[in-house]
Structure 1
Amino acid sequence: MSFEERNTWAFLFIAVAAYLCYVVIVLVVAGGRPLVEVDYGPIMLSTIGAAIVAGILANIVISTIWRKGAGKADQRDKEISRFGDHVGQAFVVIGAVVAMLLAIVQFDYFWIANAVYLAFVLSALLGSIAKLVAYRRGFQPW
């Protein structure tokens, strides 16, 4: 398994774990009240910040444990990364359109922010899965 593939696995796990933590915390804080009444901003920013820190720490740990190839991406790694990023960007665009539509129909900020956050998580998830499939099944650049 290459260094980049290990980082992709870590990124996938961290993105999903952080989002699940966010959802659970918001639901617990809501405690039966309407979700739009929850002060979600600090919770969202905290989980995103924690995910960023966890990603940096995961990269450091992976670099320390598997020194061979750490920080060195070959042409195949670069093409797979580009491919995964392009696949994942679809959800960023979809999320932006959904957020725009929610704003147009004047939904609460809670739903707009959560639509954007979910889009970023789905983008990370789909992009990571595309990269991992490319690593495991092979990759044929066009």
Structure 2
Amino acid sequence: MSYEEKGTWLYLVVAVVGYAVYLSLVLPQVTGGTPVGDVDYVPIMLWTIGGAIVATIVLRILVEIVFPSESTKGDVRDREIDRLGTRVGSSFVVIGALGALVLAMLEAEWFWIANVIYLCFVLSALLESITRLVAYRRGVPAW
């Protein structure tokens, strides 16, 4: 498994786990009857995003210590896969921006706007990672 593919797996796992942690901390407040305007989601969101960044860095180092790669330099195939994954994943960033724009126009609670953006960032990471992993296994489509 290449250095880039290992990083993609880590990115996928950390995105899922980080968002699951966020939801496990915020959903009890929302379902517990707290009005969404009073839900204290900002520090939880910031800590889970920051924790995901730190976890990715630490896990990347640990994986390279335990399972060292032959080379950390990407080749042409890695760059093509990276471009393909980025293009596919960016679609959810755009969807999140449009969703947040619509919610802002409807004067929705900030809670919903922030959570739509965060959800779309996570979906973008998932779609990007899955696209890259499929490309590593099946090759880059020749469209």
Q: Distance in 1 between matches of 2:141 and 2:70?
A: 22
Structure 2: state its 5+ residue gaps: none
Distance 1:140 1:27 in 2: 40
Q: 1:79 matched to which residue of 2?
A: 80
1:141 offset after TM fit, Å?
4.7
Matched residues in 2 for 1:61 and 1:85: separation?
25
Q: Is the 8 A contact 1:15 1:124 kept in 2?
A: yes
**Aligned counterparts, 1:17-56, within 5 A:** 17-30=17-30, 31-56=32-57
TM-score, scaled to structure 2: 0.93
Runs of 4+ off more than 3 Å: none
What residue in structure 1 maps to residue 3 of structure 2?
A: 3
Partner residue of 1:66? 67
Say what the alpha-carbon RMSD is for the aligned residues. Answer: 1.4
Q: Which runs of 5+ in 1 are unaligned?
A: none
Q: Across the two proteins, how many residue pairs are aligned to each other?
A: 142
* Residue type at the aligned position of 2:110: Y
Contact 1:99 1:112 in 2 (8 A): yes
- Residue 131 of structure 2 aligns to which amino acid in structure 1? A
Q: Can you list the C-alpha shifts for 1:33-92, whole angstroms capped at 9, x where unaligned? A: 233321100000000000000110111112212323352211111110111011000000
* Alignment partners' CA distance in 2, 1:87 and 1:63: 27
TM-score of the aligned structures, taking structure 1 as reference length: 0.93
